[in-house]
Structure 1
Amino acid sequence: MKRLLIFLLFIISLSNCENNKKSTHNKEQDSKIESGYHNHKKVAELNKKGIEFSTESFDKAIKIAKELNKPIFIDFSTSWCGPCKRMDNFVFADSIIGDFYNENYICLKYDAEKGEGITLANKFEVQVYPTLLFLSPKLEIKLKHIGYKGPEEFLKLGYNAVNKELSFGSVPNSLSKYNSEIKNLIEFSSFVAYLNPSEKDSVLFDYFQDISQSKWYSSQYFHLIENHSYSIFSPLSKFVIANRNKYSELFSKARIDKFISGLMLFAINTPKAVYGKSYNNLSDDEINKLLFSELLKIDSVLANKNRLNHEINLLCKTVRENNNDTKIWDSLFTKVGYYNNHYLHLDKEWNNFLNDWSHRASILAPINLEIANYNETCMKRAKSKLAENDYNKFAKGLSIGTVERFVSIEKQSRNSKKELTIALRILAESYSVSKIWANDFLSRINVSDEDIINHKEAIIKNAL
């Protein structure tokens, strides 16, 4: 319990900063913190009646809103946004929140970087996530909030947007208790995030020992497991795997499969870190064989998927240093082709875009951009082997990777500028990038070359 005591001290130090009062860590304080979790007995039920987001298209949702004379609530998020996930698991999942929003709003949810979400994010000038948008049935913007809101604050937003008053004293008592619990959970989550990866599993498990096991199935506590688990062999990871069917029913099979697959990939990438010092006497081959045999017992499909993905990523790095070796290129194309035929459908289902040609090509970008005609050579090989759609992803990924490499190197040479110019030209002429990426990386290119400046301007103009 030593690590748990460290966290309790961490919470108390936060309280000191906020209230400017001195406090000591004692049994009474521990009791108060513990009671904040155990007094609220229905947390496991909260994810059953949260906000019901409509699956209708935006046009159809507008029509429904006008017919029912209901305002519209839209949550704009992205797959990588941490505060967005906290909203999903800690706020939208609450039954009191769900009761109010389901009754008073047509609720919509969009990934601002996918499908219809891209168009709507541009329409309503959404650039930061999460963005919480409240519209009248006539699409007038009643309220637009950027960033995370806790349960109480989010409920008040909903009341204010429909011109209803909600005084602090009239907030349901159960929601106030839940709101307090969520604040503690988020503080603990922030604490764990700063730990060394090897410490996270034991700290999490110590913490969960004081939590009723029924709560381990709630969205709030699974969020902690999902975001901070390090080893696939940790007690909490094993608990999820042992109760995989129940978790899949609660959170979808795709989400649980993605969680297990992510732990597998981490284990395959760093097997000795996962197993610990007791296995240091084994050779790399021995520990890899042992690890893979264990992963096969958990899920043979996911184990084979992640082993192949690991091999492909290693090949990408090998190609980067031997880009004229035809055999290595052929091996890469063959393995990726097999992966795409057997496992790519899982990545699409999980919204995991790290295993397509765009990501793989970004790995191929050379470290220092000093290899003459590197991009041109790679593009020619890819064009001769890949279908048009995959080639487009390859060209975009390699170009993005080249730009990111350029801004990271200290000394810029004639060849690095040449490779950068090629990459920017390809992006400017053929592919759109996100505004966030464009603002982040293009702003760091301090080169006076006219072609580079023109390409940068074109990319920014067309950014999504």
Structure 2
Amino acid sequence: MKKLFVLIVLMAGIVWGAEAQSKGITFEQTKEWKKVLKKAKKEKKLIFIDCYTSWCGPCKMLSSQVFTREDVGNQFNADFVNVKYDMEKDADGVMLKDKFEVKAFPTLVFVDPNTQQVVHKMVGAGSAEWLMEGGKIAKDPQNNLSGLTKRYEAGERTTDLLSRYLTALSSAYMQEKQGAVAAEYLNALSDDEIVTKDNWELIKKNVSDPLSKPIRQVIANIGRFYEVAGKEVVDYKLENSIKGAVAEITYWRSGNGEFDEARNAELIKLLQSLDYAFIPGALASLYTAEYVRKGDYKGMLNSMREAFKYNVFRNGEEQMYFQNNIEALAGCDDKTLVQEGIDWIDARCAQTKDYFAKANLMNSKARLLTKNGDTLGADKAKMEEEKYNAEGEKRSGGKAVRAIRMN
């Protein structure tokens, strides 16, 4: 009787495990690409590939929270042959990473087994609904990435096609192609032609350069775009576009390649013609950056004082402006000027009540003290940085963390 009970329990466990596994996506046990191809050809299905790495957090989220959903499993098990590859450890995974141009993780690829060509690609992680919709599109030969590309290359230029194609390119993280497609269409439009709701959506999603023709047309026809899309939405897009271009210039350093002086001058000219609350701060950043590029650190410090004198920054932007420029003193060989920067850091640290900001300032101070050869002082500043960071986390109740610096 006891043996019979144990047997029943074991069988129940096996059945339960099989049932649990069947609720989500069933991935092939084999890692041999040739075998996967053979099965997909036989079943006349596309291949769905989860391209992951062992260290990828979003990959793990998909694996544990999305792939395990019953509705996801029902759809993908019926429509695809499913396979997972560690793109760094599995032999065929390494091969397929290059073959399918996988550059970020997670990347989800849908492949035609007969041609071994990608018909659709999704980069990143999303909800179960996001994945299921992507699976439906992958099966649509007219509207998956491959189909849209063929339609575009055949000369189709309807707004619906462009919207779908640009969305697919964005999903596949094909940014260069996405920008080229958007530019080709939008750059050909006159002022009267471009002011439509559909064209605004294309600009909003696909154009970020304030010096591009579409953004300049938005600026030139601002009132008409306000009517089409709303003042708040249009102004938000313009502000983000301009700030992005300004940041690209202000964060430039000599190791980043040749500096584009013509673009810098053109951007300054554009900003000088605009009247938004954030423009003075953007211009101050560009003016100060010129001193940094020239290695004129005394001029840089004077430019910074001028900017703070007239209070040109808003929404906490002065902190980023201060740190980006004060840390440029790490390239200065004049110890007196570097010390001037260190003293200014101490003054700002005493004034701010934000403990994460204090931690960042101590990080900058450590860099400058190291530049001046004061290693003991630098170590002390790093200890202060850790103390302020811990206090910031404590005061937030663990709900806020300081952004990690990568340099």
Q: How would you bin the TM-score normalised by the shorter chain?
A: 0.3 to 0.5
Tell me: higher relative CO, structure 1 or 2? Use CA pairs within 8 A at least 6 residues apart.
1
TM-score (normalizing by structure 2) = 0.42
Larger Rg: 2
TM-score (normalizing by structure 1) = 0.38
